[in-house]
Amino acid sequence: MHHHPKSSPFTPSTTAATTLSKDNSKCTPYIILASFFFSLLFILSLLSTSASQSLLTIRRDPSLFPNRPVSLTKIPYGPTPPSIAYLISGSAGDSARILRLLLATYHPRNHYLLHLDLSAPQTERDRLAVTIHSVPIFRAAQNVDVIGKANYAYQRGSSTVTSALHGASILLRLSSKWDWFISLSAGDYPLVTQDDLLHILSYLPKNLNFVNHSSYIGWKESKRLKPIIVDTGHYLLEKDEIFYVTQKRVLPNSFRLFSGMCLCLTSLCC
């Protein structure tokens, strides 16, 4: 007698439940991973938003927001800048270099006098005056003038000194509201700006002179002090060379002689 084993009952609902449980077990890791990813993105977005707001709060310039009261701190003012009178001299063909030096040293507080000696033709002198008048800043400030009646100035003679004194007297007639006098030639060029120079001079006493001099004469005693030089620039209307007299002068014993550079900064108060 044979006994057949009982077969387990098979129903469609049991099969469906088994399939769903298997699918759920496969989808659960993906759901957890997706939830973790979106949570991480949300946290990072919150952190970046708070950081950007804090940076905006720190770097905010109060002057850009007129609705808020802005605290204005008073800037300490220094002394009033001085005024410098310049004499810029040149010869024939130096009008362009004189204009270059004028532009390099120009400041509205200063006064400028341009001098082309008699070796330059009158047309060049007139052309320089027209050029000066055509510049708007010069015309507005009215602090640049050109000498109409020129003279000669020889570097080795005394006419250089008389030309500088003549220029200073003209500047005093034009305006006495300047503190220092500087005589320059067309070949000079400044090493500092006028703003820096005026700023430095504003802290110095007005009666201070800047003259480079030395009591050591040396070879200059026989080559420059004892020879007698006739400077034709004082009395001739045509350019001529200076000449030396055969006699020698005797050096004075009542005072001491000094030598130095021709460039100096002379105070009006001296």
Which residue from 84, 154, 140, 136 is spatially nearest to 113, judged by alpha carbons?
84
pLDDT in the model for residue 126: 94
pLDDT of residue 103: 96
Q: What is the pLDDT of residue 51?
A: 47
Q: For residue 253, is pLDDT > 70?
A: yes
Environment class of residue 239 by beta-carbon count within 10 Å: exposed (0-12), middle (13-18) or buried (19+)? middle
Amino acid letter, residue 263? L
Cα Rg of the chain (Å, integer): 44
d(CA 114, CA 144): 8
For residue 3, pLDDT over 90 is answered with no
Please give the single-letter amino acid code of residue 48: S
User: 84-213+262-267: what fold?
Assistant: Pyruvate Kinase; Chain: A, domain 1 (3.40.1380)
Q: Where are the domains of the chain?
A: 84-213+262-267
Q: Which two tokens stand for residue 46?
A: 């919150």
Amino acid in the structure at residue 75? I
Higher pLDDT, 64 or 43: 43
SS (H, E, C) the chain: CCCCCCCCCCCHHHHHHHHHHHHHHHHHHHHHHHHHHHHHHHHHHHHHHHHHHHHHHHHCCHHHCCCCCCCCCCCCCCCCCCCEEEEEEECCCCHHHHHHHHHHHCCCCCEEEEEECCCCCHHHHHHHHHHHHHCHHHHHHCCEEECCCCCCCCCCCCHHHHHHHHHHHHHHHHCCCCCEEEEEECCCCCCCCHHHHHHHHCCCCCCCCEEEEECCCCCHHHHHHCEEEECHHHCCCCCCCCEEEEEECCCCCCCCCCEEEEEEEEECCC
| Phi, then psi, of 246 in degrees rounded to 5 | -70, -30
Residue 225 pLDDT greater than 60, yes or no: yes
Sole residue written with tokens 């387990």: 8
Using one digit for the tens of pLDDT, what is the confidence trace for 161-193?
888 888 999 999 999 899 999 999 999 999 999
Confidence band for 211, pLDDT divided at 50, 70 and 90: confident
What does the pLDDT look like over 34-54, one tens digit per residue? 776 667 776 766 655 554 454
What average pLDDT does the structure give for the chain?
A: 77
What one-letter code names the amino acid at 232?
Answer: T
For residue 23, the SS3 value is helix
Q: How far apart are CA 11 and CA 122, in angstroms?
A: 128
Evaluate if pTM is beyond 0.75: no
